[in-house]
């Protein structure tokens, strides 16, 4: 085994350090496997209940009227997330699009949007108009308010109560930390937050940005009162096989509003050719619990590898997990570049290229991204990225298999080690 890793470029010292870390993780890996087994049964039951058949994989073109495969896939998502309805489309281009769609469809001029969990994900700043941007919700007369988390990362219920007012129409809750070094929230915590918001204002809509959270736990935000649960198909629920897309699972009226906004009033869910994308969307969803489990193991392995070397990790090496993201605070741009170079060098695709920071659209500082993915930009595949700004944290996620995630983490350490940016002596 060590020779195989050596052939990939991992030195003996790094490999042996990795094995010593791994020896302490068996119990946690068993628990992850049990969650995957539970969620596999959940997905399977949803597919059976929705009567998925060979006819569902047919391509539709043009308007896409009477698309059995598209309608059945939406039934499968709704059954799995326990919602009245779902919108699952390759025409939803990414997670940001899905979130912008859910917000734009369910807010009207004069309404107010509240984030009770601090600042939202970077790309939503322009969607909301926190950073002025043509076409933002702000331009359409939707105001925004935010209640920051308390210093320990918990909800500030007093501030949230004070922020909810007559205009508050929709509450947006981000499950994953995104590019922040705050904790991610458990489904249970999200449930308590939703219940609190609805106790203050019963008719307020609650939307959860579920990106990177799907199948990490046995329940989803839709099980604890979310009106809309939203995510990207090139993250967990696409299982690495969906070529593109996003989903919104939720109440009938909310999802119907989203469909009318995605297509047009009067058309709604009735149109939208599947363009041959359905087999990957179905099969990816089927594999998603297992793929997510591999990514989770990788995240835990990374935290244990790097924390022992003195780098702060969020979540830390021992904490329970609510998403597949692992933040590692490396403290310098140089270490971020070495880490990303290692992830890139471990990829099955584009392993020969060198990631460099660039001014990525939607982000306000340069971002470095390492990914050698079968699907462009897919971050359920092994990837690492982060904005080049203090505290110089990389966000590591994905891995279609645990073994590949492991290789990537060992390679990241290898690059740091070769450049003298970590010290493996004495551990």
Ligand X SMILES: *Cc1c(COP(=O)(O)O)cnc(C)c1O
Contact residues toward ligand X (CB under 6 A) are: 94-96, 121, 123, 174, 176, 178, 209, 211-212, 232
CB of 369 to ligand X, least distance (A): 11
- Cβ atoms 379, 94 nearer than 8 A: no
For residues 46 and 230, which CB has a smaller minimum distance to ligand X in the complex? 230
CB of 34 to ligand X, least distance (A): 25
Q: How far apart are CA 3 and CA 201, in angstroms?
A: 62
Beta strands in 355-402 (DSSP E): 367-371, 383-387, 393-397
Tokens of 51: 């009567």
CB of 307 to ligand X, least distance (A): 22
- Establish whether the linkage from the previous residue to 315 is cis, with ω within 30° of 0: yes
- Cβ atoms 74, 64 nearer than 8 A: no
Q: How far apart are CA 58 and CA 60, in angstroms?
A: 7
CB of 426 to ligand X, least distance (A): 36
For residues 11 and 133, which CB has a smaller minimum distance to ligand X in the complex? 133
Q: Which long-range contacts (CB under 8 A, 24 or more apart) does 38-42 make?
A: 38/218, 39/215, 39/218, 39/288, 39/289, 39/292, 40/289, 40/290, 42/80, 42/218, 42/289
For residues 60 and 378, which CB has a smaller minimum distance to ligand X in the complex? 378
Signed CA dihedral, 22, 240, 82, 47: sign only: negative
For residues 202 and 361, which CB has a smaller minimum distance to ligand X in the complex? 361
CB of 184 to ligand X, least distance (A): 9
Q: Residue 74, SS3?
A: helix
For residues 176 and 344, which CB has a smaller minimum distance to ligand X in the complex? 176
For tokens 């949007």, the residue is 113
Q: How far apart are CA 271 and CA 273, in angstroms?
A: 7
CB of 122 to ligand X, least distance (A): 8
For residues 268 and 399, which CB has a smaller minimum distance to ligand X in the complex? 399
Q: How far apart are CA 311 and CA 278, in angstroms?
A: 42
Residues in the chain: 427
Tokens of 371: 């990914």
Determine the residue with CB nearest ligand X: 95
For residues 69 and 398, which CB has a smaller minimum distance to ligand X in the complex? 398
CB of 49 to ligand X, least distance (A): 29
CB of 123 to ligand X, least distance (A): 6
CB of 275 to ligand X, least distance (A): 19
Q: How far is CA 217 from CA 18, 214, 221, 223, in A?
A: 26, 7, 10, 11
Instruction: Count CA atoms closer than 13 A to 355's CA, side-chain side.
Output: 33
Q: How far apart are CA 324 and CA 27, in angstroms?
A: 18
For residues 91 and 414, which CB has a smaller minimum distance to ligand X in the complex? 91
Q: How far apart are CA 391 and CA 393, in angstroms?
A: 6
Q: Residue 368, SS3?
A: strand
Check residue 51 and give left, alpha or beta (phi > 0: left; psi -120 to 50: alpha). left
For residues 95 and 387, which CB has a smaller minimum distance to ligand X in the complex? 95
CB of 414 to ligand X, least distance (A): 27
CB of 50 to ligand X, least distance (A): 26
């Amino acid at each position: 085994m060590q020779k195989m890793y050596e052939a990939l470029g991992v030195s003996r010292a790094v490999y042996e350090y990795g094995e010593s870390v791994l020896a302490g993780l068996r119990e946690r890996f068993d628990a992850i496997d049990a969650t995957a087994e539970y969620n596999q049964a959940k997905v399977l039951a949803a597919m059976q209940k929705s009567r998925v058949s060979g006819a569902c994989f047919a391509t539709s073109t043009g308007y896409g009227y009477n698309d059995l495969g598209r309608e059945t896939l939406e039934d499968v998502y709704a059954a799995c997330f326990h919602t009245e309805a779902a919108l699952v489309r390759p025409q939803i281009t990414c997670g940001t699009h899905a979130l912008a769609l859910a917000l734009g469809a369910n807010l009207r001029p004069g309404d107010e949007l509240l984030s009770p969990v601090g600042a939202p994900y970077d790309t939503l700043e322009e969607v909301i108009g926190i950073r002025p941007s043509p076409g933002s919700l702000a331009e359409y007369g939707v105001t925004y308010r935010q209640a920051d988390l308390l210093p320990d990362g918990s909800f500030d219920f007093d501030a949230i109560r004070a922020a909810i007012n007559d205009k508050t129409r929709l509450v947006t809750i981000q499950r994953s930390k995104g590019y922040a070094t705050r904790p991610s929230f458990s489904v249970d915590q999200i449930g308590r937050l939703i219940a609190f918001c609805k106790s203050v204002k019963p008719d307020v809509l609650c939307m959860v940005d579920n990106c990177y959270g799907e199948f990490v736990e046995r329940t989803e935000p839709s099980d604890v009162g979310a009106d809309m649960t939203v995510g990207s198909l090139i993250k967990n629920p696409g299982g690495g096989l969906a070529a593109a897309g996003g989903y919104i699972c939720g109440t009938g009226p909310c999802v119907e509003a989203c469909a009318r906004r995605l297509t047009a009033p009067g058309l709604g869910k009735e149109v939208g050719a599947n363009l041959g994308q359905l087999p990957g969307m179905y099969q990816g969803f089927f594999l998603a619990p297992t793929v997510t489990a591999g990514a989770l193991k990788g995240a835990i392995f990374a935290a244990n590898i790097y924390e022992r070397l003195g780098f702060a990790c969020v979540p830390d090496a021992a904490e329970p997990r609510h998403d597949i993201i692992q933040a590692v605070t490396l403290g310098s741009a140089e270490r971020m570049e070495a880490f990303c170079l290692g992830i890139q060098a471990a990829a099955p695709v584009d392993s020969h290229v060198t990631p460099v920071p660039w001014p990525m659209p939607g982000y306000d500082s340069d971002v470095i991204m390492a990914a050698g993915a079968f699907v462009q930009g897919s971050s359920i595949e092994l990837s690492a990225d982060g904005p080049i700004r203090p505290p110089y944290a990389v966000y590591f996620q994905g891995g279609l298999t645990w073994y590949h995630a492991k290789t990537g983490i060992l390679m990241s350490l290898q690059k740091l080690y070769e450049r003298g940016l970590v010290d493996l002596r004495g551990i």
